[in-house]
Amino acid sequence: MALLSGLSRAETPPDLTGAKVRMRYPQPSDFDEWAELRGLSRAFLTPWEPTWPHDDLTKPAFRRRLRRYARDIREDRAYPFFLFESATGHLCGGLTLSNMRRGVAQSCSMGYWAGERFAGKGLVSDAVRTVLPFCFGGLGLHRVEAACLESNGPSRHVLSACGFREEGLARKYLRIDGAWRDHVLYAILDEDLRLR
């Protein structure tokens, strides 16, 4: 875990456990399983993600990714997690808290993905529910935002089921699969979670 040492928000990286998943920061030893899962899920993930770099699944690119993650955590910019299915211990996806905004905003953006063979099992929903107390308690945030394509019914269901409220449509919000695309915006507040 040397690449992720010297963290700003917590001296010990969080190891979050939900009903179906365990979440922790990525480690160098995750490369083989991560590259295999992403490679096998490429066609499944492509419509929902930014265009992958040509070397995305290589070990040097993964090392660069870990260095960026470590810097982002140290600088309180982002908090990346890999998701592991509790029943099997297998890597099943990822969730990232990014675009940390401090000061009067105290908010962040959340994004997630699941490998194709793990989709539809409630693992991402469990990860979202599991990370929210860390957002509002551990990180001291007030608001967590998420955005998804209008056509992404499963992702919209995850957000609604986890207590996020739809707030509107952002035109050409993110560049996904090579084109600027409209996204539906969702958010949850710390008091929303307390009321649940």
Reported as a pLDDT band with limits 50, 70 and 90, residue 136 is very high
For 137-189, how does the pLDDT look when each residue is reduced to its tens digit (9 = 90+)?
Answer: 999 999 999 999 999 999 999 999 999 999 999 999 999 999 999 999 999 99
Question: The whole model's pTM is what?
Answer: 0.91
Q: Please say whether the beta carbons of 110 and 93 come within 8 A.
A: no
Q: Phi first, then psi: what are they for 79, rounded to 5°?
A: -135, 100
Pair type for strands 107-114 and 143-149: parallel
Q: Would you state the pLDDT for residue 102?
A: 97
Q: Would you state the pLDDT for residue 111?
A: 97
Q: Is the pLDDT of residue 11 over 80?
A: no
Q: Is the pLDDT of residue 1 over 60?
A: no
CATH 3.40.50.2000 fits 2-142, yes or no: no
Reported as a pLDDT band with limits 50, 70 and 90, residue 5 is very low
Reported as a pLDDT band with limits 50, 70 and 90, residue 14 is confident
For 56-96, how does the pLDDT look when each residue is reduced to its tens digit (9 = 90+)?
Answer: 999 999 999 999 999 999 999 999 999 999 999 999 999 99
Domain limits, the chain? 2-142
For 107-125, how does the pLDDT look when each residue is reduced to its tens digit (9 = 90+)?
Answer: 999 999 999 999 999 999 9
Q: Would you state the pLDDT for residue 6?
A: 40
Q: Please say whether the beta carbons of 74 and 7 come within 8 A.
A: yes
Average pLDDT in the 21-38 region?
Answer: 98
Measuring CA to CA, how many Å separate 75 from each of 27, 64, 99, 101, 145? 18, 16, 11, 12, 20
Q: Is the pLDDT of residue 4 over 60?
A: no
Q: Would you state the pLDDT for residue 2?
A: 40
